[in-house]
Amino acid sequence: MYRTLLVIALSGVFTLSHAADDPTIEGDIMVPPTTHKAAKKAKPAKAAKASKNNKNKAAAAPKPSAFRISSPDIQSSSDIDQRFEYDGFGCAGENTSPELKWSGAPADTQSFAVTVYDADAPTGSGWWHWIVYNIPADVTNLDAGVGMLHSADLPDNAIQAINDYGAEAWGGMCPPPGDTPHRYIFTVHALNVEQLDLPEDSTPAMIRYVINASTIAKASFTAQYSRPKE
């Protein structure tokens, strides 16, 4: 009898000791108890980490620039009208400058400069069609047609530099006939000086160098122009 009771007692202890190592049942899935507890603790930590990472990504995302330039005469990524074409070198446009508007310049802007550049001219260095600098900080547009030679319609103190046609004026588009459309980049530079004190005989490269050295922000748009093959 005592032997029987001892066997039963030992059997119960054996069963309890193995039950602690057996997996528990969740629905139809067998999950070891230790793994089950660890998974419950890990889930909130992973969720918190993912949330933190998302916040960091949102904080690191660059904000769109408020500084913009546009033209009611030339739409960005569109074809430029023929009236802005140069009058000479085989071109027969009106050689008139388009209206340009800008907004959102930095608060510490002291003056502006405007440039128009053909990035695809077959010169090895492009072609500069228009450079205007010493535009007062309170000016936010250039009217259409102000780029004529010896213009009296430019803002006070504004100066037109020599373009690649050799004139202190707007020089219209005149790509070689049959070329794929050239890209014309219209840019306004916000400068940290009220005016650029440059000698009258400054080269276009020197003027652009000083403009770039004084630029605190700039905005651009690009349009294209081509001429049919002759």
Domain identity same for 26 and 127: no
73 is a domain residue? yes
**How many domains does the chain contain in total?**
2
Q: Which pair of structure tokens corresponds to residue 179? A: 């070329």
Rounded-to-integer distance, Cα 125 and Cα 143, Å: 28
| Angle ∠(214,219,224) on CA atoms, nearest 5 | 125
As to burial, measured by CB atoms within 10 angstroms (0-12 exposed, 13-18 middle, 19+ buried), residue 71 is buried
Q: Read off the tokens for 8.
A: 């039963």
**3-class secondary structure, 160:** strand
**Which of the listed residues 43, 60, 77 is the one where a domain comes to its end?**
60
Judgement on whether residues 220 and 107 belong to the same structural domain of the protein: yes
pTM of the model: 0.73
Q: In whole angstroms, how far apart are CA 200 and each of 94, 169, 203, 218?
A: 28, 14, 9, 25
pLDDT tens, residue by residue, 79-108: 999 999 999 999 999 999 999 999 999 999
Domain that holds residue 43: 2-60
Q: Residue 230 domain-assigned?
A: no
pLDDT at position 56 is 57
Does residue 15 sit in the same domain as residue 41? yes
User: pLDDT digit string (tens) for 106-119?
Assistant: 999 999 999 999 99
Q: Do 127 and 150 belong together in one domain?
A: yes
79 within domain boundaries: yes
How far, in Å, CA of 89 to CA of 54, rounded?
58
Could you report the per-residue pLDDT of 173-220, keeping only the tens digit for each?
A: 999 999 999 999 999 999 999 999 898 888 889 999 999 999 999 999
